[in-house]
A and B are shown apart, each in its own frame.
Chain A
């Protein structure tokens, strides 16, 4: 399959580099052609109903709008709907099928959801990342449901011998109101399947006032019962007859390789069957395995014991001197010198020189590990030139591609079965663990499960970047901010794909740096170089974490410097309600969305600030020793604002009393899951703020498990978290939910800590900083 696609790409950076060499115009033209190839042409057309355009068509393999692919109706009336995105806790496996059910008038209690294999030619793009699923699929899923409904109505009208205009699908039946006759979907299934699939251009979508499910939040996730009884199947739970269990010892330094190993003691461990080398690829190697030594056993426990008994000599390679403390100094030095200018309005240098007062904030945020509760794990069965994979992957299509390439077999010889994901957060968009399983299964001629231990996960993942963000803000005599210079220095995700990549890619620049929405006359954003020394990857919210932390902390610093209320300062900086123009920014990413549909709209940003201030009681009187902090950030084309109330007690004990978050994510499908995502973002935000840090010494990660890569637990969770969803018109394009809750949390927290204590936190994690 051709595919030029993928400018924003998360799957293959090499594709992206190729695209960047050709003109924007030819990319768009090429994409148009690619889109035409993807769809089963006459039945489908993109965005026929959409009042707005999305970036869905630009994703690899675009979208497929075909009820025959996504919907099946049994003669028993059970409607089976395909979920083609991966479930990692966002609720997408429920939400997208729910849209289809809504539009086709299926009764949700008679709907069964089945998970798609990785097959993007059939289903369209399956990458579950970038908080895209609802915004890219709300309209296509409605169209699929409406097509199915139209076919059922046509079949029903024929059976009843009445004009099709006189019947209507209602709650799993086609009803002829004037005669009171009705026929169930099951009875019509065979006839409906013979009806022509309607052209989407003529489809009539339901009037939103008739919605039973969309926007209501009354439907639990489809896996709820299975989860509570231990029956839900994650990647780790797959068991095949004759399956072997493997764990792998990987090079402790990124880019290192195996020199020699002694397996004598390992093979003596009861249950260990074999010890063998696993192929590794030279760094940077995209998602290819790191290589090392695999221990194969009859169960995972034996494999782990066997691995502990291995004696291995590694060759550490070029990153053997990576040291977090020294690297921080390097980043700070780079941030204090001019760097590549990536946005320029007015003359920030001159305006800073002329300013009455300059406030400087330099913020440091370390590497983070994803630590999904289910560590990476995959099962592979490779035989007779075919490969079958069972794995918790965010990118089933990409996994299929990479397994085929790694084994040297055609893609159609690879089946990728997508299990539930025990958390993803971006880690499981990289399929190295599935590739390891495929290589081992091929070598052993048997099904193999590769299980990563928690230490493997922390030490050999694709870490969140580490960054220094330096902001200089110039004030005039009246206290108005007239100049803003933001230098962002961080190793780029591009370095995982291309040796020597040292500047942020456009998608990284577009996450809170160049898209900063404040109304300031002189703005300059710079991106000095930073070399990577470990694998850097996407982590929930990605570069928005450090950028929102810096920008929103600076708002707090400016409020303090000018003796103003934080919220007033924030609104003043956001400025007038307007669509932000970013003419000086080349390749503005905008999360892959067309700017016309998803502009930076400061009216919406102002509104979430006002909304959370109102609902969350901004300005309320808090007990002595408590403080309130606020932060707002647009990411994944959604608008979020958060208020945190904290107190700092004896020995720096931090208590989060209340969190209020307002989200404007446009029109939405399942408010109950929006609420759960935002509640969870507060916990993840608190974890990264209090404890989150992966450090390196002599090229090796110093943490390994939850004892030293700590996470927030229930006894230190916020005492109350409120989520306020800004009501949106059904025509407001839907936007991200999974990621955007995270970025504003940490800056709201440190602004609250400042209000409570007068102590400004500029380095994360907070660690022991409050003890003194």
Chain B
């Protein structure tokens, strides 16, 4: 039996300890905000925050996060009003929206670590998150907006 902390709530899992955190969150817990995009840590759609770091849930196993705090998009802010979320809405960032939870989690981790990133730092830090619709200009601007006050 594995004990996990997801969005501040304790959960236990007695299935395959090697199951990826992505499928555990989505299929076993029902936290579907974390998305599947590639399964090999190439696209960032499954980004969650473990302790303070953005990680790809698809290549992280359930046993890897024992004793650590896992935060998903659902737990990022109690009312969904994290500065990054507000900036995303302010600039109408999403098109289809599917990758955006991962983008937002990556951006939240970036700003927590570097509260005033430059545009170059934003472009670099967000480069692991693919958006097929091509919302990049707005993503860049929204991270900048979130870091300077919405």
Residues of A bordering B, CB below 8 Å: 87-91, 220-221, 223-225, 227-234, 236-237, 239, 245, 270-271, 298-302, 304, 371-375, 420-425, 451, 453-454, 672, 676-677, 679-684, 705-707, 711-718, 720-721
Name the residue of chain B whose CB is nearest to the CB of A239.
B30
In the assembled complex, B20 has its CB within 8 A of some CB on chain A? yes
Cβ-defined contact, A300 with B96, below 8 A: no
In angstroms, Cα B101 to Cα A236, docked, is 14
In the assembled complex, B104 has its CB within 8 A of some CB on chain A? yes
B110 to chain A, nearest CB (A): 12
In angstroms, Cα B139 to Cα A729, docked, is 33
Contact of B85 among A228, A372, A706 (CB under 8 A): A228
Cβ-defined contact, A228 with B80, below 8 A: yes
Supply 8 A–B pairs (Cβ within 8 Å), ascending by A.
A234-B35, A234-B98, A270-B16, A299-B27, A300-B26, A680-B134, A713-B128, A713-B136
Q: Which residues of B contact A375 (CB under 8 A)?
A: 36-37
The proximity string for B residues 123-139 relative to A, scoring 1 for CB distances below 8 Å and 0 otherwise, is 11011111111111111
Q: Which residues of B contact A89 (CB under 8 A)?
A: 94-97, 133
In angstroms, Cα B136 to Cα A711, docked, is 12
Cβ-defined contact, B39 with A230, below 8 A: no
In angstroms, Cα B36 to Cα A711, docked, is 17
Q: Which residues of B contact A236 (CB under 8 A)?
A: 26, 32, 35-36
Q: Which residues of A contact B74 (CB under 8 A)?
A: 229-231
Cβ-defined contact, A229 with B98, below 8 A: no
Q: Which residues of A contact B40 (CB under 8 A)?
A: 454, 705-707
In angstroms, Cα B139 to Cα A502, docked, is 43
* Known A451-B36, A680-B134: A373·B19 in contact at CB below 8 Å: no
Cβ-defined contact, B100 with A301, below 8 A: no
Cβ-defined contact, A245 with B27, below 8 A: yes
* Known A423-B98, A451-B36, A713-B127: A372·B80 in contact at CB below 8 Å: no
Name the residue of chain A whose CB is nearest to the CB of B22.
A301
Give the residue among B36, B92, B96, B101 with the most A Cβ atoms within 10 A. B96
Q: Which residues of A contact B124 (CB under 8 A)?
A: 715
Give the residue among B22, B23, B42, B73 with the most A Cβ atoms within 10 A. B23
In the assembled complex, B99 has its CB within 8 A of some CB on chain A? yes
* Known A271-B16, A373-B99: A714·B37 in contact at CB below 8 Å: no
Cβ-defined contact, A706 with B27, below 8 A: no
* Known A225-B89, A421-B96: A721·B137 in contact at CB below 8 Å: yes
Cβ-defined contact, A680 with B133, below 8 A: yes
Q: State which residues 7-36 of B face A: CB under 8 Å.
A: 15-16, 19-20, 22-24, 26-28, 30-36
In angstroms, Cα B96 to Cα A422, docked, is 5
Cβ-defined contact, A239 with B127, below 8 A: no
* Known A270-B16, A715-B123, A715-B127: A374·B22 in contact at CB below 8 Å: no
Cβ-defined contact, B38 with A706, below 8 A: yes
Q: State which residues 61-85 of B face A: CB under 8 Å.
A: 72-74, 76, 80, 85
Cβ-defined contact, B94 with A684, below 8 A: no
Cβ-defined contact, A453 with B89, below 8 A: no
In the assembled complex, B43 has its CB within 8 A of some CB on chain A? yes
A694 to chain B, nearest CB (A): 15
Cβ-defined contact, B98 with A300, below 8 A: no
Q: Which residues of A contact B36 (CB under 8 A)?
A: 236, 300, 375, 451
Q: Which residues of A contact B88 (CB under 8 A)?
A: 227-228
Contact of A679 among B22, B126, B130, B134 (CB under 8 A): B134
Q: Which residues of A contact B6 (CB under 8 A)?
A: none
Q: Which residues of B contact A230 (CB under 8 A)?
A: 31-34, 72-74, 101
Q: Which residues of A contact B76 (CB under 8 A)?
A: 229
Cβ-defined contact, A672 with B92, below 8 A: yes
Other than A422-B98, A683-B133, give 5 A-B pairs with Cβ distance below 8 A: A228-B80, A228-B88, A228-B89, A679-B137, A679-B138
Cβ-defined contact, B15 with A373, below 8 A: no
In angstroms, Cα B29 to Cα A455, docked, is 25
Cβ-defined contact, A714 with B27, below 8 A: no
Contact of A374 among B30, B35, B89, B131 (CB under 8 A): B35
Give the residue among A231, A301, A420, A706 with the most B Cβ atoms within 10 A. A301
Cβ-defined contact, B80 with A373, below 8 A: no
In angstroms, Cα B86 to Cα A220, docked, is 13
Contact of B136 among A298, A420, A422, A717 (CB under 8 A): A717
In angstroms, Cα B139 to Cα A718, docked, is 13
Q: Which residues of B contact A299 (CB under 8 A)?
A: 19, 23-24, 26-28
A90 to chain B, nearest CB (A): 7
Contact of B139 among A298, A705, A707, A714 (CB under 8 A): A714
* Known A89-B96, A714-B123: A422·B35 in contact at CB below 8 Å: yes
Cβ-defined contact, B39 with A304, below 8 A: yes
Q: Which residues of B contact A424 (CB under 8 A)?
A: 96
Contact of B130 among A91, A373, A374 (CB under 8 A): A373
Cβ-defined contact, A229 with B85, below 8 A: yes
Cβ-defined contact, B24 with A679, below 8 A: no
Q: Which residues of A contact B133 (CB under 8 A)?
A: 89, 373, 423, 676, 680, 683
In angstroms, Cα B120 to Cα A717, docked, is 12
Q: Which residues of A contact B92 (CB under 8 A)?
A: 220-221, 224, 672, 676
Query: Which 9 A-B pairs have CB atoms at the shortest separation, nearest pair first?
Result: A230-B33, A683-B134, A422-B98, A301-B23, A89-B96, A230-B73, A680-B134, A89-B95, A227-B97
Q: Which residues of B contact A454 (CB under 8 A)?
A: 37-40, 43
Q: Which residues of A contact B45 (CB under 8 A)?
A: 373
Q: Which residues of B contact A245 (CB under 8 A)?
A: 27
B102 to chain A, nearest CB (A): 9
Q: Which residues of A contact B95 (CB under 8 A)?
A: 89-91, 676-677, 680
Q: Which residues of B contact A233 (CB under 8 A)?
A: 32
* Known A230-B33, A672-B92, A680-B95: A373·B27 in contact at CB below 8 Å: no
Name the residue of chain B whose CB is nearest to the CB of A452.
B36
Q: Which residues of A contact B136 (CB under 8 A)?
A: 683, 712-714, 717
Name the residue of chain B whose CB is nearest to the CB of A91.
B95
Q: Which residues of A contact B37 (CB under 8 A)?
A: 373-375, 454, 706
A692 to chain B, nearest CB (A): 12
B83 to chain A, nearest CB (A): 12
Q: Which residues of B contact A304 (CB under 8 A)?
A: 39
Contact of A684 among B33, B72, B96, B132 (CB under 8 A): B132
A479 to chain B, nearest CB (A): 38
Cβ-defined contact, A717 with B123, below 8 A: yes
Cβ-defined contact, A676 with B138, below 8 A: yes
Cβ-defined contact, B94 with A711, below 8 A: no
Cβ-defined contact, B15 with A271, below 8 A: yes
In angstroms, Cα B80 to Cα A232, docked, is 13
Cβ-defined contact, A684 with B24, below 8 A: no
Q: Which residues of A contact B39 (CB under 8 A)?
A: 304, 453-454, 705
Cβ-defined contact, B16 with A302, below 8 A: yes
Name the residue of chain B whose CB is nearest to the CB of A234.
B98
Q: Which residues of B contact A423 (CB under 8 A)?
A: 96, 98, 132-133
Contact of A714 among B30, B33, B96, B140 (CB under 8 A): B140
Name the residue of chain B whose CB is nearest to the CB of A722.
B137
In angstroms, Cα B73 to Cα A237, docked, is 14
Q: Which residues of B contact A227 (CB under 8 A)?
A: 88, 94, 97, 100-101
Q: Which residues of B contact A714 (CB under 8 A)?
A: 122-123, 126-127, 129, 131, 136, 139-140
Cβ-defined contact, A225 with B19, below 8 A: no
Cβ-defined contact, A706 with B30, below 8 A: no
Q: Which residues of B contact A270 (CB under 8 A)?
A: 15-16
